[in-house]
Amino acid sequence: AELSPQIRVNCIAPAMTKTDLSASFITTPDKENALAKKYPLKRLGCIEDISGAAMFLMTEDSDWLTGQIISVDGGLSSLRI
């Protein structure tokens, strides 16, 4: 931030998201339901969940946000394990 005050660096940390890649190991509705139960929101993420966070980071609404890891994880990171 000191050397490049106009550059903001943030990242998105997604949890299990239903994609073509995850389809190779989420092969049945039972497996999907078992995984979904582990999340406070009781579902797996979808591509739109992740893209919504990315779209926010591209807007002026996030202009004062930097150095953050945005967990898009259905509340999983809020659990005390």
* pLDDT at residue 29, rounded to an integer: 96
Q: Which domain holds residue 34?
A: 10-78
pLDDT at position 81 over 80: no
The CATH number of the domain holding residue 25 is: 1.10.8
Q: How confident is the model over 12-56, as pLDDT tens digits?
A: 999 999 999 999 999 999 999 999 999 999 999 999 999 999 999
Asked if residue 52 is part of any domain, the answer here is: yes
How many structural domains are present in the chain?
1
Q: H helices within 1-81, ranges in order?
A: 29-36, 47-57
Asked if residue 30 is part of any domain, the answer here is: yes
pLDDT at position 76 over 70: yes
Asked if residue 51 is part of any domain, the answer here is: yes
Asked if residue 2 is part of any domain, the answer here is: no
